[in-house]
Amino acid sequence: MSLLNKERLRTNLDEVIWNIEQARITVSEHHIVKLVTVAKYTEPENISTLYELGQRAFGENQVQQLKERMELLDALPLEWHMIGTLQKNKINTLIDLRPSLMQSLDGLELAMELNKKLAAKETTLSCLLQINAAGEESKSGVTPEEAFDIYQAIKESCPQIHLKGVMSIGAHTEERKTIQQSFECTQHIYESLQKEGATICSMGMSSDYQLAIKCGSNLVRVGSALFK
């Protein structure tokens, strides 16, 4: 981890924004894509610098790191996203942090537990249902086959959870075709969930965000491409 100077970060951010622009325009000029900067690899100082450069939304994959950074950067009006697997013993800590969006709700059991604790604290949380579209054992998330039913079940039985859409990580391979298929799979599920009120399809990281956007993603989570 290292401190990057402002010009370096500006160049990287400009490049990512330009690439997002190129990809989204191939879908439609009305297709708007949100950039969530994944700061887990970098120093908090780089987050403040990105804020000065106009970036507002930041993601972390660990509750503890999210907490430390939210506290440290409390003076800045940032939007925080939880994007990593949530352990049951961290649920209360996460709720108290009041993140803008919890993107990694990975099953009905976790949803029930989260809902119970949200109810006890008389609060709500916006979430995305994570789909393991590539079917990889190392990844969290519901299977594509069960995604629609679980989405509905959470909506019906977890009133404290406001489901906003889906999140997925592209297949872990160099094969573009396989990555594309995993994005298209998530996109299909997202389309079927739009009538259930889904508005966010979070797909795409540093290595594949342009492809993800072309497959319909409207939220990308980019880390290493910014901090190089």
Report the half-sphere exposure of 210 (CA within 13 A, side-chain side).
Answer: 13
Give the interface size with ligand PLP as a residue count (CB under 6 A): 14
Which residue stretch of 20-28, 108-116, 150-158, 205-213 sits at the interface with ligand PLP (rule: CB under 6 A)? 205-213
Is residue 206 close enough to count as binding ligand PLP by CB under 6 A?
yes
**203: exposed, middle or buried (C-beta count within 10 Å: 0-12, 13-18, 19+)?**
buried
In this complex, which beta carbon is closest to ligand PLP, that of residue 135 or of residue 197?
135
Is residue 224 close enough to count as binding ligand PLP by CB under 6 A?
yes
C-alpha to C-alpha distance for 86 and 70, rounded to whole angstroms: 17
In this complex, which beta carbon is closest to ligand PLP, that of residue 65 or of residue 153?
65
Which residue stretch of 119-127, 131-139, 155-163, 217-225 sits at the interface with ligand PLP (rule: CB under 6 A)? 217-225
Residues 6+ apart with CB under 8 A from 146: none
Is residue 102 close enough to count as binding ligand PLP by CB under 6 A?
no
Identified binder of ligand PLP from the candidate list 35, 179, 193, 222, rule CB under 6 A = 222
- Residue showing the smallest CB distance to ligand PLP in the complex: 223
Per-residue binding letters, 38-77, with ligand PLP (x by CB under 6 A): x-x--------------------x----------------
Q: How many residues does the chain have?
A: 228
Identified binder of ligand PLP from the candidate list 110, 169, 201, 212, rule CB under 6 A = 169
Residues 6+ apart with CB under 8 A from 47: 37, 39, 58, 69, 73, 78
Of 16-45, which residues contact ligand PLP (CB under 6 A)?
A: 38, 40
In this complex, which beta carbon is closest to ligand PLP, that of residue 181 or of residue 207?
207
Is residue 205 close enough to count as binding ligand PLP by CB under 6 A?
yes
Residues that bind ligand PLP (CB under 6 A): 38, 40, 61, 83-84, 169, 205-207, 221-225
